């Protein structure tokens, strides 16, 4: 508010320039200065606020870096502890390795000594080998001697077989003659002849056995380098002698004259009994199967009115006993009826009969079933790993089995033998090593057999 005195406003028109206009100008100037100062302070405050914001960000960044550094420090502390443990473990292992090294050095020394011993043995064995080579040369000469004897043995066996065949034919002829002659029963004489033939067959069998043993011995001598240590051969005969040759002029297969009841005494008639003797018994030393000289053995002697000679019965063939058949039913792969050849492996699977089968992948491996009956089934499984087998019945090949199937089929009837004559039979399944083109392997197997 302005104060007015004497009709004038105070301060207006002051010549000294101290009136109101001058005060307003001063105030305006001061206001401008204050305004400039405020603007400057406001700019300074904005600058300071920016610095504060930057510092806040820097502080947050430093805090984050500090947290990371703390994590790194903790990780380094953990790593350091692990490293301390590893150092202790390595120290322990180092001590163990030092002990092992000492043990290996001791073993190495022992092995060096063993090598020296083996070298000494090798030298000794070289000398033994040289001796065996020398004995092998001697054995070669012995083999040549045996080979030279083989034809003589074979000739003897052939001669005995020929004689046996001739005597068998003679027996048949004698039986025919006896059938045509209505005379007494000569079965006793025939039995003696049969006994004689059986004896000669035993001699032939013995010679054949000796031949087989000799051939096996020759094969062993030719293929086995391990010979006896001494220079003597107990199987070699004395030079110039042959232990298998009989005394000159004698035939070991023929009895001494007069000791064979099947040979007639020269000049006697075996077809007529001596007066006062039993017509059913042959006279000692005579052969009742030989006709009297000048008579026809095919024409029967006319019986007298008071003596009726019995008709000689036809030779009887002993009846073959009826075989006892194997009990019908299932027999698992481990049954005693089944025998295996080659390498077979057991395979357990609940889908199979009895929970298991046997299989093989070896070419030539086989299983054989021996049974008495007329029919048999072989049961197994098929799969993509199975191959092909050959089937033999009583030694004759009758077909093949293809075990292959893309998916596994259990308890399959692989082969059936039926319509056989009641008796003893064998069924053999042999792995061929072949397979279906789509199969992954050539295995075969057996689960069980069924006797029907």
Mean pLDDT of the chain: 77
| pLDDT in the model for residue 312 | 44
d(CA 451, CA 337): 11
Nearest to 297 by CA among 442, 131, 158, 186: 186
pLDDT digits (tens, 9 = 90+) for 357-396: 999 999 999 999 999 999 999 999 999 999 999 999 999 9
Q: Pick the closest to residue 214 from 137, 148, 141 (CA basis).
A: 148
| % of the chain residues with pLDDT over 90 | 37
Mind giving me the DSSP string for 33-102? HHHHHHHHHHHHHHHHHHHHHHHHHHHHHHHHHHHHHHHHHHHHHHHHHHHHHHHHHHHHHHHHHHHHHH
Q: Give the pLDDT confidence score for residue 126 in this predicted structure.
A: 86
What's residue 184's pLDDT?
Answer: 54
Mean pLDDT of 392-413: 96
pLDDT-wise least confident of 277-281, 297-301, 405-409: 297-301
Q: How confident is the model at residue 131 (pLDDT cuts 50, 70, 90)?
A: confident
Average pLDDT score over residue span 124-144: 82
- Name the most confidently modeled range: 120-129, 173-182, 285-294, 300-309: 120-129
Which tokens hold the place of 377? 């089934």
Exposure on the CB side of residue 177, measured as CA atoms within 13 A: 17
When mean pLDDT is compared across 138-147, 219-228, 294-303, the lowest value belongs to: 294-303
Asked if pLDDT for residue 215 goes beyond 80, the answer is no
Number of C-beta neighbours around residue 387 at 10 A:
22
Q: What average pLDDT does range 258-286 have in this prediction?
A: 49
Query: Do the Cβ atoms of 431 and 360 come closer than 8 Å?
Result: yes
Asked whether residue 304 carries a pLDDT value surpassing 70, the answer given is: no
Among the ranges given (47-61, 79-93, 94-108, 272-286), the one the predictor scored with the smallest mean pLDDT: 272-286
Q: What is the pLDDT of residue 132?
A: 85
Query: Taking 90 as the threshold, does the pLDDT of residue 59 lie above it?
Result: yes
Contacts of 175 (CB under 8 A, 6+ apart): 190, 315
- Widest pairwise Cα distance in the chain: 225
Is the pLDDT at 55 greater than 70? The verdict is yes
Q: Three-class SS of residue 305? A: coil
- pLDDT tops 90 at residue 416: yes
Beta bridge partners of 331: 449
In this prediction the pTM is: 0.34
Lowest-pLDDT range of 215-219, 268-272, 389-393: 268-272
Name the band, by pLDDT with cuts 50, 70 and 90, for residue 305: very low
Whole-number pLDDT of residue 382: 96
Between 196 and 258, the more confident residue is 196
Encoded tokens for 442: 């050539």
CB 382 within 8 A of CB 438: no
Q: What is the DSSP letter of 285?
A: T
- Tokens matching residue 155: 């000739």
Give the strand pairing for 409-417 and 345-348. unpaired
């Amino acid at each position: 508010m302005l104060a007015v005195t004497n009709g004038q406003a105070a301060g207006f028109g002051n010549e000294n320039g101290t009136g109101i206009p001058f005060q307003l100008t001063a105030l305006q100037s001061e206001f401008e200065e204050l305004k400039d100062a405020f603007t400057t302070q406001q700019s300074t405050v904005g600058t300071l606020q920016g610095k504060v914001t930057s510092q806040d960000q820097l502080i947050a960044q430093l805090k984050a870096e500090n947290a990371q550094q703390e994590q790194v420090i903790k990780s380094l502390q953990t790593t350091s502890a692990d490293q301390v443990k590893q150092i202790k473990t390595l120290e322990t292992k180092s001590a163990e390795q030092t002990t092992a090294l000492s043990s290996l050095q001791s073993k190495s020394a022992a092995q060096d000594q063993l090598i020296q011993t083996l070298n000494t043995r090798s030298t000794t064995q070289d000398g033994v080998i040289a001796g065996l080579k020398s004995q092998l040369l001697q054995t070669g000469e012995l083999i040549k001697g045996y080979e030279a004897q083989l034809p003589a043995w074979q000739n003897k066996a052939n001669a005995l077989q020929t004689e046996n065949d001739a005597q068998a034919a003679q027996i048949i002829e004698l039986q025919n003659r006896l059938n045509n002659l209505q005379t007494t029963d000569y079965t006793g004489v025939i039995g003696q002849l049969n006994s004689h033939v059986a004896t000669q067959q035993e001699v032939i069998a013995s010679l054949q056995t000796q031949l087989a043993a000799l051939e096996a011995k020759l094969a062993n001598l030719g293929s086995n380098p391990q010979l006896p240590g001494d220079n003597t051969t107990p199987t070699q005969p004395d030079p110039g002698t042959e232990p298998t040759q009989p005394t000159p002029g004698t035939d070991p297969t023929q009895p001494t004259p007069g000791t064979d009841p099947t040979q007639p005494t020269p000049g006697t008639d075996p077809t007529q009994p001596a007066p006062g003797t039993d017509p059913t018994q042959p006279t000692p030393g005579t052969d009742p199967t030989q006709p009297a000289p000048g008579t026809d053995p095919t024409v029967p002697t006319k019986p007298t009115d008071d003596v009726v000679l019995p008709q000689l019965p036809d030779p009887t063939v002993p009846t073959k006993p009826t075989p006892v058949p194997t009990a019908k039913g299932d027999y698992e792969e481990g049954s005693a009826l089944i025998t295996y050849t080659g390498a077979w492996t057991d395979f357990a699977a609940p889908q199979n009969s009895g929970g298991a089968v046997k299989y093989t992948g070896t070419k030539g491996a086989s299983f054989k079933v021996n049974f008495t009956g007329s029919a048999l089934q072989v049961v197994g499984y098929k799969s993509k790993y199975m191959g092909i087998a050959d089937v033999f019945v009583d030694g004759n090949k009758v077909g093949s089995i293809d075990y292959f199937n893309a998916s596994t089929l259990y308890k399959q009837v692989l082969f059936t033998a039926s319509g056989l004559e009641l008796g003893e039979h064998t069924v053999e399944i042999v792995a061929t090593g072949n397979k279906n083109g789509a199969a992954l392997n050539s295995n075969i197997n057996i689960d069980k057999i069924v006797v029907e």
